[in-house]
Amino acid sequence: MSTRQFGQPIKRNEDPRLLAGRALFTDDVQLAGMLHVAFLRSDLAHARIRSIDLGGAKERPGVAAVYTADDLGEYWQPGPLLVPPPPVGQLEFHPRTQVPLAKDKVRHAGEAVAVVVAESRYLAEDELDDIFVDYEPLDAVVDLEDALESGTPLVHDDLGHNINARGTQTKGDWAQAEDAADLVIRRRFHYDRGTAAAIENRGIVASWDDKSQQLTIWDTTQAPIAIRNGLAGMLGLSEHQVRVIAPFIGGGFGPKIMMFYPEEVLLAWATLQLGRPLKWIEDREENFYATTQERGQVHDATMALKNDGTVLGIKDVFLHDAGAYAPYGLTLPISSQCTLLGPYVVPEYHSEFTSVFTNKPIVTPYRGAGRQHGVFVMERLLDIAAKELGIDPISIRRKNYIQPDQFPYSNEIIFQDFTQLTYDSGNYEPALDRALELIGYQDFIRENQPRREAVGERVGISVVSYIEGTGIGPYEGARVTVEASGKVSVATGVGTQGQGHYTSFAQVVADQIGVAASDVHVVTGDTDLFYWGAGTFASRGAVVAGNAMHAAATKVRDKILKMAGEKLEAAEEDLELIEGRVQVKGVPQTSISIGELAVEANPMRGAVRPGTEPGLEATEYYGPERGATASGVHAMILRVDPETFLLEIEKYVVVHDCGTVINPLILEGQIQGGVAQGIGNAFYEQLHFDENGALRNASLMDYLLPTAADVPNIVSDHMETPSPLNPLGVKGAGEAGAIPVGALFAQALDNAFRDIGLEVREIPLSPNRLFELVTEASARGNA
Amino acid sequence: MKPAAFDYFAPGTVDEALGLLADYGGDAKPLAGGQSLVPTMNFRLAQPAVLVDLNGIEELFFIREEEGGLRCGAMTRQRSVERSALVQRISPLLHEAMPHIAHSQIRNRGTIGGSLAHADPAAELPVLAVALDARMYVRSVTDARWVSARDFYMGLFATAMLPEEMLVEVAFPTLPSGSGWAFDEVARQHGNYAMCGAAAVVGLDGRRVVERARLVFLSVGEGPVEAEQAAALLVGEQPNAEAIRAAAETAATQDIDPVGDIHAGPAFRRHLARVIAERVLTRACERAAGTEGQ
């Protein structure tokens, strides 16, 4: 028997190319006659544009063109609303989307005002210095609460207010819970902004070929098909005239699926104007303004409980920072609303959000995508409730978990995929027990912590639970082809940004066809090679594209068996596929290679039976009825230097359940990378905007990313509760590592400073902020 | 993030370099390791019309012992200083502090003279120079002079040098016997700019009473900040924990007046200054008394 490859920790097919520098990234694309593009970006967050003086710009040697909004004519249009509002009962919605170049007014620092095309990026940037924009500075909308005050400046004047949307979702009746409660706790929680800081910034190469009438675009996008369709529409071209290639990409994390970035719209248009290929590579400074960000929310949350720790209900009213434009609709606040409920039974729930326009860069999903906030609020409420009720934080979680026999479990409200929030499957308590065992919970509480605290150390432990809605629709597709060489190719529409798709997808297909995963060549992100699809987001690649591949591979397998059965004069059920050959079970002498079958399936002469399809090939699509719900438990032991407030993570445990595992090695990498980003989010990364909306730390010198020295070894284990929603039983895992880390830091710090009653209610933290919180808590204790 | 256009010269001798600085004056910038200048140019915060690249001037790369002290050529790489056995022997404080400077990749390129002349208030080397009473050898086409580190620093990114002058050498005197030293800093991440840091040099007399003390901070002012009141408090005292704590408290509350930035507010900086002062003074006193590690 050949070994099953699905589920094995196979090393990644793509790594030799990536490690040796033989993988094509957008900036590697060099075309004859290529020009370079730079953008003039506003220094001010909010200002009226009185006039733009190009100075001597156009006359500079080496400059091909300078464009402002007025030069775009009818092409100047606000971008599309990517996600319409879901069918939520009470909803007020005021969409405003980003524009290619600011006209009349700039609404966030870094918004593009003019575009320059020149022989080199150096010349293009010199050129920017020639242009003078006469701005009338306006007061900026920075703080979420201030944004809603009357008389406050308006981000979008025509709206008359700064409200992007308001929405309320309810389950049961919160008032009942409040009435029946033994304890009601109310707290305010803050979560602030960070940036994904992918190692590769965005980049675009656009090339119009006048003779073939073809537009080719290399783009660091997570959604090449949607980019092709959109650009073709905007430019009045057929979709067949536009080819979008998303080559190797150094990290997506969500911001690379924003559409359409002004740069995408403008480069595609300008190459048609100039008839020459154009390149723009975002630099790190631009990335801090021009690439979307996430995570500003303020929650006023109330939890009602019985004395025994049973949660009766939650009321949460929150503000969401949408930034200057909101192309993603309500995805983020809805995701926060839904994820807050976590793995717990919450009978009565009232959640009300206001999404607020501010003069800050655009907000769209970034790894976790609203989930961090929900988990933070829920886990903090449980911790605070446990403290007030005098029960331990583990028991209160255990007590409120949804039980295995309650699935599918409906939370009644609407999820970001427009379906009812229903968990497909889950088994939470074994994961909790395993995490406690791996972290050494009892030993820490009983022995380690008291011993160390006796000599003046500060150490804390934390354990948090969360769920992650993953693998949502609408659909993806895949085409599986056996080539004459006997190797297999798979094409799909989703883009790939480092997730290991070249391997995990290959594993899904390899078992069906009976070849090694290394003999399966995966093609992603080229619209000429696969026409249909949505994109890579919401931890959905493995679930949605993976199941489409499985379906296509199964169909190809059927074709192989049928054909081989005829050739070998054997019944199909007597055949097996091993190492690229079909053989009669147990009789290797009677066999034929799939490569030979592929050649025969593509006859060059002669007659075939009517209805014959050529090739050993199949294309299938998969669309889940709703998302699959993954879950997990993270645990941590944290040491705080009581003098410097620097932290050391002594131990970090992840027990995760994403259903059936395709490749444990890749999963491990996803979890570790996510945790690293979570650690950054919790203690290092914060975007500091001043009262004028200027970003004070737009460089990696002042925006601190966690380094290898800050990220501990992560001990992980995996539970497998398969999803009943898809044939592979898989759930998404891309965001799981990042989601609960803020809540985990808060609980561990509270634990380490429990003698002074520290209660952390905000993320991100820093040594400075921790010093302030501890000083305040000590002062309160002494008062 | 591309620099504006500039003219580039790569002189082979100090005299040639000084000639270029004399010709171009304030329009020219000497390029040493480039670890601060080049990013600043890429952000277009600095747009020098002329760069005078010192990396080809061999006579500026040296570490040697002279008159019982240490002499370093201005272009000596920080990594060379860090790894020099001579530095370790003659100037152990300098040796101890070098690994705190940024990352090893930066020290491979960054130079001792470049950092001293850049006068970044968050940099370690200016603080070490003041703590150790270093002297800077500054030359122009027409002049050559030694400037004490204390007189060299004139504020934020400002030194006593004129535009046509260049730092060519730095001298660190040997500490007298009975001296102890220490350096420490607190950065949010290893290799980042420190939120606060300090160097201490303490001298004990024959009766083990403090006869000399110097405590110099980084990242709490516009340049190296000497805690003079704290040092005065310590002189004449037995270097015990109580005296050190009092000196550290004075340093944090009287000697410095830090402003905040996004990483550390004034209150936290003062707190860190006290913590670090206590740490470095304790270690310096122990070393002076020969009781370190006891």
* Cβ–Cβ under 8 Å, residues A465 and A397: yes
Are B4 and A129 inside 8 Å of each other by CB? Answer: yes
Reported confidence tier of residue A607, pLDDT bands at 50, 70, 90: confident
pLDDT reading at A576 higher than 70 = yes
Residue A205 one-letter amino acid: V
Mention every residue, 6+ apart, whose C-beta is less than 8 A from residue B159: B117, B119, B152, B153
Q: How confident is the model over A166-189, as a mean pLDDT?
A: 97
* Cβ–Cβ under 8 Å, residues A90 and A170: no
Cα–Cα distances in angstroms (integers) from residue A760 to residues A379, A559, A648, B59, in the given order: 12, 60, 18, 57
Residue A644 one-letter amino acid: T
Dump pLDDT digits (tens) for A507-531. 999 999 999 999 999 999 999 999 9
Reported confidence tier of residue A1, pLDDT bands at 50, 70, 90: very low
Task: List Cβ<8 Å contacts ≥24 apart for A755-762.
Answer: A756/A780, A756/A781, A757/A781, A759/A384, A760/A380, A761/A187, A761/A188, A761/A189, A761/A190, A761/A380, A762/A189, A762/A190, A762/A191, A762/A192
pLDDT reading at A2 higher than 80 = no
Helix (H, G, I), strand (E, B) or coil at B30: strand
Q: How far is CA A654 from the centre of its chain?
A: 19
**Alpha carbon of A654: minimum distance to chain B alpha carbons (Å):** 24
Q: How many CB atoms lie within 10 A of CB A19?
A: 10
Reported confidence tier of residue A604, pLDDT bands at 50, 70, 90: confident
Angle CA B130–B135–B141, to nearest 5:
135
> Same structural domain for residues B45 and B120?
no
- Radius of gyration from C-alpha coordinates of chain A: 28
Which residue of A768, A769, A772 to mutate against B (max B Cβ within 10 Å)?
A768
Q: At B23, which CATH number?
A: 3.30.43.10
Its pTM stands at 0.96
Report chain B residues whose CB lies below 8 A from the CB of A649: none
Paired with A115 in beta bridges are: A39, A67
The residue out of B173, B204, B222 marking a domain boundary is B173
- What is the model's pLDDT at position B294? 62
- What is the model's pLDDT at position A613? 86
How far is Cα B31 from Cα B55, in angstroms, rounded to an integer? Answer: 8
How far is Cα A195 from Cα A703, in angstroms, rounded to an integer? Answer: 9
How far is Cα A503 from Cα A489, in angstroms, rounded to an integer? Answer: 12
Residues of chain B with pLDDT under 70: 293-294
Paired with A68 in beta bridges are: A114
Q: How many domains does chain B have?
A: 3
How far is Cα A541 from Cα A497, in angstroms, rounded to an integer? Answer: 11
Q: How far is CA A37 from the centre of its chain?
A: 28
According to CATH, what is the number of the domain A473-622? 3.30.365.10
How far is Cα A322 from Cα A318, in angstroms, rounded to an integer? Answer: 13
> Same structural domain for residues B144 and B217?
no
> Same structural domain for residues B64 and B39?
no
Q: Which CATH number fits domain A419-470+627-783: 3.40.50.720, 3.40.50.300, 3.30.365.10, 3.90.1660.10?
A: 3.30.365.10
pLDDT reading at A584 higher than 70 = yes
**Alpha carbon of B140: minimum distance to chain A alpha carbons (Å):** 33
Helix (H, G, I), strand (E, B) or coil at A783: coil
Are B268 and A771 inside 8 Å of each other by CB? Answer: yes
How far is Cα A186 from Cα A299, in angstroms, rounded to an integer? Answer: 10
* Cβ–Cβ under 8 Å, residues A768 and B265: yes
Which of residues 219 through 278 in chain B touch A, CB cutoff 8 A?
262-265, 267-268, 271-272, 275
Q: At B122, which CATH number?
A: 3.30.465.10
Q: How confident is the model over A480-501, as a mean pLDDT?
A: 94
> Same structural domain for residues B161 and B183?
no
Dump pLDDT digits (tens) for A432-481. 999 999 999 999 999 999 999 999 999 999 999 999 999 888 999 999 99
Find tokens 């594209």 and name the residue.
Answer: A545
Angle CA A173–A177–A180, to nearest 5:
135
Find tokens 């502090």 and name the residue.
Answer: B97
Dump pLDDT digits (tens) for A236-284. 999 999 999 999 999 999 999 988 999 999 999 999 999 999 999 999 9
| DSSP letter for each residue of A590-635 | EEEEHHHHHHHTS-SSS---TTPPPSEEEEEEE--SS-EEEEEEEE
Task: Pinpoint the residues of chain A covered by CATH 3.30.365.10.
Answer: 197-290, 419-470+627-783, 473-622
> Same structural domain for residues B137 and B215?
no
Find tokens 């015990």 and name the residue.
Answer: B240
Are B268 and A125 inside 8 Å of each other by CB? Answer: no
Count contacts between A and B (CB, < 8 Å): 64
Number of H helices, E strands in chain B: 12, 14
Report chain B residues whose CB lies below 8 A from the CB of A126: 4-5
**C-alpha neighbours within 13 Å on the C-beta side of residue A745:** 28
Report chain B residues whose CB lies below 8 A from the CB of A116: none
Residue A248 one-letter amino acid: F
How far is Cα A337 from Cα A316, in angstroms, rounded to an integer? Answer: 8
What is the 3-state secondary structure of A409-461?
Answer: EEEEEECCCCCEEEECCCCHHHHHHHHHHHHCHHHHHHHHHHHHHHCCCEEEE
Question: Which residues from A are below 8 Å from B when comparing CB atoms?
Answer: 121-122, 125-126, 129, 283-285, 643-646, 684, 686, 688, 696-697, 699, 701-702, 704, 706-707, 709-710, 766-768, 771-772, 775
Nearest C-alpha neighbor of A242 from the set A278, A217, A267: A217
Are A283 and B1 inside 8 Å of each other by CB? Answer: yes
Dump pLDDT digits (tens) for B8-27. 999 999 999 999 999 998 89
Estimate the crossing angle of helix B241-250 against helix B266-289, to 10 degrees. Answer: 150
Mention every residue, 6+ apart, whose C-beta is less than 8 A from residue A637: A439, A444, A459, A460, A461, A649, A650, A651, A748
* Cβ–Cβ under 8 Å, residues A507 and A12: no
Nearest C-alpha in B relative to A128? B4
> Same structural domain for residues B41 and B72?
no
Q: Residue B173 is encoded by which pair of tokens?
A: 């005197």
Helix (H, G, I), strand (E, B) or coil at A294: strand
pLDDT reading at A96 higher than 80 = yes
Q: Where are the alpha helices (DSSP H) in chain B?
A: 14-24, 37-42, 78-83, 85-90, 92-97, 104-109, 112-118, 124-131, 149-152, 228-234, 241-250, 266-289
Nearest C-alpha neighbor of A149 from the set A165, A135, A159, A163: A163
Determine phi and psi for A598, rounding to 5 degrees.
-65, -40
> Same structural domain for residues B165 and B229?
no
* Cβ–Cβ under 8 Å, residues A556 and A617: yes
- Which helix (DSSP H) or strand (DSSP E) does residue A523 occupy? strand A520-524
Helix (H, G, I), strand (E, B) or coil at A469: strand
Range A465-501 burial, b when 16+ CB lie within 10 A, else e: bbbbbbbbbebbbbbbbbbbebbbbbbbbbbbbbbbb
Q: Is the CATH number 3.30.365.10 carried by domain A197-290? A: yes
Q: How far apart are the first and last CA of chain B?
A: 53
Range of the domain at B118: 58-173
Q: What is the DSSP letter of A260?
A: T
Report chain B residues whose CB lies below 8 A from the CB of A121: 2
Reading phi first (left if > 0) and then psi (alpha if -120 to 50, else beta), residue A67 is in: beta
- Which helix (DSSP H) or strand (DSSP E) does residue A181 occupy? none
How far is Cα B251 from Cα A350, in angstroms, rounded to an integer? Answer: 54
The residue out of B173, B190, B209 marking a domain boundary is B173
Q: Residue A388 is encoded by which pair of tokens?
A: 């007030």
Are B1 and A285 inside 8 Å of each other by CB? Answer: yes
Q: For residue B294, is it within any domain?
A: no
> Same structural domain for residues B221 and B165?
no
How far is Cα A470 from Cα A656, in angstroms, rounded to an integer? Answer: 14
Reported confidence tier of residue A617, pLDDT bands at 50, 70, 90: very high
* Cβ–Cβ under 8 Å, residues A618 and A512: no
Q: What is the DSSP letter of A532?
A: -
Q: What is the DSSP letter of A72?
A: G
- Residue B143, judged by CB atoms within 10 A of its CB (0-12, 13-18, 19+), counts as exposed
Comparing CB atoms, the residue among B4, B190, B268 nearest residue A709 is B190
